[in-house]
Amino acid sequence: MMTLKDMNPGQQGVVISIGEKGPMRRRLMDMGVTPGISIKVIKVAPLGDPIEVNIRGYELSLRKTEAENIQMKV
Amino acid sequence: MAFTIALAGNPNSGKTTLFNELTGAKQHVGNWPGVTVDKKEGIYKKDRETNILDLPGTYSLSPYSAEEVIARDYIVKEKPDAVIDIVDGTNIERNLYLTLQIAETKIPMVVAINMMDEVEAQGDNIDFKKLSEFLGVAVIPIVARNGKGIDELMDAAVKAAKNQTSAKKLDMFDENILSATKAIYEVLVDSEVGSGQTRAVSAELEWKAIKLVENDEIVLGTISEGQKSEIEAILKEAEKHADGDLEARVADLRYKFISKIVSQSVKKNKTVHVETKSDKLDKILTNRILALPIFAVIMYLLFAITFSENFLFVEGLLSPGMWLAGLAEDLWAAFGDFIGGLIENASPMLQSLVMDGIIEGLGAIIGFIPLVWVLYILISFLEDCGYMARIAFVMDRIFRRFGLSGRSFIPLLMGFGCGVPAIMATRTLDTEKDRRITTIITGFMPCGAKLPIFAMFVSTFFAGSNKTLVTYSLYMLSIVVAIVVSLLLNKFLYKSEASNFVMELPRYRVPTLKSIGIHGWEKVKGFAVKAGTIIFISTILIWGLSNFNMDSFNGVNAENNEDGSIMSEMDDSFLASIGSAVAPVFKPLGFGEWRPTVGVATGWIAKEMVVVTMAQLYDDDVSPEYLEEYFRQYDAEELEELGFEDGIYDEEAAFDIYAEGILWEGADENALPSMKNDIKTKAAAYSYMVFNLLCMPCFAAVGATKRELKTWSRTGGAVGIQMLTAYVVAFIVYTVGNVIS
């Protein structure tokens, strides 16, 4: 299964599920990361982490450890 | 009628701009009880009866950050007369998520769609009437930056407050969730018998029911044990019908509902993600190769504009910050001279109190004000234009290891110039944990005022060594200590707070001058008033202790002093007695004598005072003869420049000028060999420098700390941690140093 962490800049995919219950997942969902939504990876930060994605028309940044929990379908 | 209207909205939605536009510069910044989050209040410019309250910017009303809890507690418990929900029109989907949550509270509300100029420039079209029909409340287009639509917005808000117009029941949840909510509501209602089923009560219970479905721990905590089991049974049943994940389903349905509204009321010019101007700029600013060099240049400029004495590498050119600080100090000195002239004939004690106590004490604040102001204007600019979020994005990788966010870089960097604006810059950090830890470790940074201490000690004790290397090692040590303390605080004090980095990268925007101006002014005012009080009182206290002793009050001093003053010399003062009593504490650090101890204490007035005090206390070899000899190298013109009146050598003035001279003289002129009587080894000298580097910063910085941490207990805790760190590190340095040599 692919996660958001595995995606390369420019790639686009659809969210399947978002990891374990808890504050972090809640935060992701509040920011609009919900199952079925399309996410496009924009870039990786110069030091290799975090990543920047485009979701629901705005730019969101998150760490790779957080992106790892988001299951994607490309 | 007087109304209170609260502003709610996402960060970067233009909330602060709107608040400034509504209230003008007449704001009151306080704090929410118990947390380091600003509470901003103001009066509506056009109707003095209407109060405006700026809630913290949040993305939702989940209880996962201090800001969110404040915003929702205020809305649900304090119940403002109306809420203005500000929505960024260029990012309407995510912004409406908060709108729906506010709507659920049934508080009277209006929705302001901001950034309409950008929306129109993009060629998008928003049907406000339709949106208003969906939500059941007024929807007003505005451009907060230029005030467009704001009068209409306020009219609508006052109308909503008068008529108690809250959002209608929104049809967003599925059968399963609706029935679960209803069942929980019934359970809650049963316990509320007697409170009279008013509209407000039932609205609050409905809100609670929804929050319980969302697995909200805070609301769950308010439920009695008996109800809890009933509610948990309902939730368990409902989970089964939601693929075992009710919480995700609620969020999902909210966003689905938003998609439905948006698809019917917003016509986007371009439906796929296209590159905007902001994206193009971002490609350069966070480019893989260019990002760090650009970041370094911007940080250098930030530092240089505030603190540099050789601005843009031009020898002797003061930066705007330093120039203004110098100007303020000169004006203050002129004012001091004027006051000094007025009380020329007063008693020496009154003169000393006014000149050395009050004028000097207030002077300590005056010099900082321009620095705070300049730095704050620059930081507000970075914040408002959107670059601050990119700093966090670029630096996160490094700072995460220390348990901080990339934004902590700015306060720490500023700490190399001056701790006061640095500590005030912690306000821009995202979480309370980051703010507190950064405030504490900023105190460890080797600010400009600590340099003379290093210069003096390195010259005296390390004359034969590589002096630059010794000073450099202290810089490195401060950074290492900051990292270790941050890690320890993360591990032991704030371990429960999970850190995450799910952060919006807002569009780049040109900030409005007005917003930045008000921001900078707020900072300066807050510092001058709140921190100023602490600085003032502490300075007078130290002045009193260092100028009086028991004999001041039994007439002995008055008899002995030629001028009849009851004051004492510093080496005979209360401070000296206290120093002697406290000195043994520093024995394990290698400087357990009273003079170094007093030096530490006067360093709290301003760190460079350590040098002045040491020069005063160790004046044995600075005899009048020595001074006369020393100043003979200067001619009359130079003497006048040094501060001698009319260029004539004066024994009394000579000592002060010599002592101060240690601050500006270069190289070995700084040495004060008689210190070696008390501080016997290199290890002890290094330990003394380390202690002064790390212990409580000056009172001005403590005042700034108090302003940021809000409570005395937290400020005391921060100072305690700094003292403990200084003691432990100095002890290790001294012990290891002794072993090596």
Q: In chain A, what is the straight-line distance between the N-terminal and C-terminal CA atoms, in Å?
A: 10
State the pLDDT confidence band at B384, using cuts at 50, 70 and 90. confident
Cβ contacts of A45 on chain B, cutoff 8 Å: 286, 291, 393-394, 396-397
**Higher local confidence (pLDDT), B35 or B16:** B16
Residue B272: pLDDT above 70?
A: no
Q: What is the mean pLDDT of residues A17-30?
A: 86
Q: Could you give the angle at the alpha carbon of B132 between the alpha carbons of B127 and B136, nearest 5°?
A: 165
pLDDT of residue B668: 47
Residue B73 near residue B222, CB atoms below 8 Å: no
Number of domains present in the structure of chain A: 1
Residue B260: pLDDT above 50?
A: yes
Cβ contacts of A40 on chain B, cutoff 8 Å: 273
Taking an 8 Å cut-off on Cβ atoms, the answer to whether B255 and A37 are in contact is: yes
pLDDT of residue B364: 66
Report pTM: 0.81
Q: Please state, for a pLDDT cut of 90, what percent of chain B lies above it.
A: 35
In 10 A of CB B274, how many CB atoms? 9
Question: At A12, which helix (H) or strand (E)?
Answer: strand A12-18
Search chain A and give the residue with CA nearest B496: A23
Encode pLDDT of B109-122 as tens digits: 999 999 999 999 88
From the list A18, A27, A32, the residue facing B500 with the nearest CB is: A27
Tokens matching residue B19: 């608040």
pLDDT of residue B664: 42
pLDDT of residue B9: 94
**Higher local confidence (pLDDT), B657 or B572:** B572
What value of ipTM does the predicted structure carry?
Answer: 0.95
Residue B714: pLDDT above 90?
A: yes
Q: What is the mean pLDDT of residues B310-324?
A: 84
A73 in reach of chain B (CB within 8 A): no
pLDDT of residue B113: 97
Task: Provide the domain limits for residue A25.
Answer: 2-73
Cβ contacts of B289 on chain A, cutoff 8 Å: 46
CA distance B16 to chain A (A): 20
Cβ contacts of B505 on chain A, cutoff 8 Å: 52, 59-61
Residues 7-66 of A with CB under 8 A from B: 18, 21-32, 34-37, 40, 43-50, 52, 54, 56-63, 66
Between the ranges B159-163, B349-353, B382-386, where is the mean pLDDT highest? Answer: B159-163
Taking an 8 Å cut-off on Cβ atoms, the answer to whether A34 and B255 are in contact is: yes
B interface test, pick of A17, A18, A29, A49 with most B CB neighbours within 10 Å: A29
**Phi, psi angle pair for B77, to nearest 5°:** -95, -45
Residue B16: pLDDT above 70?
A: yes
Q: What is the mean pLDDT of residues B262-291?
A: 84
Task: CATH number of the domain at A69, please.
Answer: 2.30.30.90
pLDDT of residue B547: 85
Q: In chain B, what is the straight-line distance between the N-terminal and C-terminal CA atoms, in Å?
A: 78
The domain locations on chain B are: 4-163, 175-267
Residue B92 near residue B266, CB atoms below 8 Å: yes
In 10 A of CB B322, how many CB atoms? 23
Q: What is the mean pLDDT of residues A24-41?
A: 91
Taking an 8 Å cut-off on Cβ atoms, the answer to whether A32 and B97 are in contact is: yes
From the list A23, A35, A54, the residue facing B498 with the nearest CB is: A23
Q: What is the mean pLDDT of residues B700-716?
A: 90
State the pLDDT confidence band at B665, using cuts at 50, 70 and 90. very low
CATH, range B4-163: 3.40.50.300
- Counted across chains A and B, CB pairs separated by less than 8 A come out at 118
pLDDT of residue B585: 95
Residue B163: pLDDT above 60?
A: yes
Q: What is the mean pLDDT of residues B623-632?
A: 73
B547 in reach of chain A (CB within 8 A): no
CA-CA distances (angstroms) from residue B729 to B446, B453, B490, B618, B688?
Answer: 15, 18, 19, 26, 11
How far from the centroid of its chain's Cα atoms is residue B707's Cα?
A: 8
Q: Tell me whether residue B295 is exposed, middle or buried, using C-beta atoms within 10 angstroms of its C-beta: 0 to 12, 13 to 18, 19 or more.
A: buried
Encode pLDDT of B444-478 as tens digits: 999 888 888 888 888 788 877 787 888 889 989 99
Taking an 8 Å cut-off on Cβ atoms, the answer to whether B500 and A23 are in contact is: yes
From the list B248, B289, B393, the residue facing A45 with the nearest CB is: B393
pLDDT of residue B365: 72
Class of domain B175-267: mainly alpha
Residue B643: pLDDT above 80?
A: no
A interface test, pick of B72, B96, B254, B255 with most A CB neighbours within 10 Å: B255
Encode pLDDT of B318-364 as tens digits: 888 889 988 988 999 899 999 999 988 888 888 888 887 788 777 76
CA distance B397 to chain A (A): 6
